[in-house]
Amino acid sequence: MQVPFPPGKGKLLFAKSKVYLHVSPSKSENIPGYLTIVQPYKGAANTDIIIAFIVESDLSVEDKKTLAYFDLYGLDGENADKLYSSNSHDSGDGSFNYNDRNIPVVSKYIDRPKLSSLASFSFAVTISNLFSCQIRPRAANFWHGSIILHPKDSLEKLPALFFHDDECPGTKREQKLRSRNFEPFASNTFSGLGDILYWGGDRFLSCLKNYCVLEESPLEKGMILVNPTKDDLINFIPNVIDNKNDKDDPFKQASESFNEFVTTAKWKTLGALAQITKNVRSIVSQVAKNESIPEPIKALLAKPSVKVISDEFDSANVYLAKWALAN
């Protein structure tokens, strides 16, 4: 018998700590968070599974503890170090018994991630709305491996996520376990990138494969299509229109992508406020014109205080518009 999910909670399928948004060249301004894969409710289809970046400061104390634990032990268990510290970890054929299925060995739950937020840098996308993942593994000239999630809505831009493996307890533990079996390389390889040392994004891809099909695009290095159709594989066109320096290294423009992400959020806020203003005025106008409305109500709507509220909405719209254009 399956245990029901706690109310408002989602089940963790993957969690990686010390994943950062690089918002500027200054390291002090980097925003740390967790990259997660979450089953939103019991029996959810794989296409409804959520991939979410959750800023550390947005988390409750309970969820922080849960994610920190899962980062370390969620996929390999608490006893992995003891099991693999002696010959007892040998399966008999010389192979290593770590969790190569990349399925959780414990059931842990966190608050269900929100798919959109106007008040945070956290973001999320369901597998059904994810078109591709752009991968740049850690290398000699790139200290931090990174991933960009590309939603199917081409107008929605998400910032690059940087894996600070040297700070992540879970990744350091995984590297330690793999080194004991002389397997320092990543499980996922890509054309034209050669041998890749294990990094935090590798476990993310291995886990994601349990819930969707990942196909490497033959046209753009490091571009992984998610649940692609035949038309996607045939018609996918890499970004060759932009400046050559940019197209060769899309991650170099991560801060610009972040700024675009923030700007989009600003205009969503303005749009929501404008819609509220429109709705309020429409309701007031309809009530005032409705002959069946009692005269005391109409008299109330005609009071100066009601007009002040409407004017304040206008002032807020103007102020936020100036703020959005200035930043």
Residue 256 placed within a domain: no
- Per-residue pLDDT reduced to its tens digit, 265-301: 554 554 555 555 556 556 656 656 666 666 666 666 6
The answer, as to whether pTM is greater than 0.85, is: no
Q: Domain check: are 154 and 303 in the same one?
A: no
Q: Domain check: are 141 and 15 in the same one?
A: yes
Residue 106 placed within a domain: yes
Residue 252 placed within a domain: no
Q: Domain check: are 52 and 186 in the same one?
A: yes
Residue 202 placed within a domain: yes
Structure confidence at residue 179 (pLDDT): 87
- Per-residue pLDDT reduced to its tens digit, 224-251: 999 998 888 777 766 544 444 544 555 5
Q: Domain check: are 228 and 266 in the same one?
A: no
pLDDT confidence tier of residue 261, bands split at 50, 70 and 90: low
Q: Domain check: are 213 and 269 in the same one?
A: no
Q: Domain check: are 112 and 163 in the same one?
A: yes
Residue 257 placed within a domain: no
Q: Domain check: are 170 and 315 in the same one?
A: no
Q: Whole domain around residue 116: which residue ranges?
A: 9-238
Residue 254 placed within a domain: no
> Total structural domains in the chain?
2
Residue 73 placed within a domain: yes
Question: How far is 57 from 277, CA to CA, in rounded Å?
Answer: 31
Residue 25 placed within a domain: yes
Q: Domain check: are 215 and 273 in the same one?
A: no
Burial class for 56, CB neighbours closer than 10 Å (0-12, 13-18, 19+): middle
Q: Domain check: are 172 and 49 in the same one?
A: yes
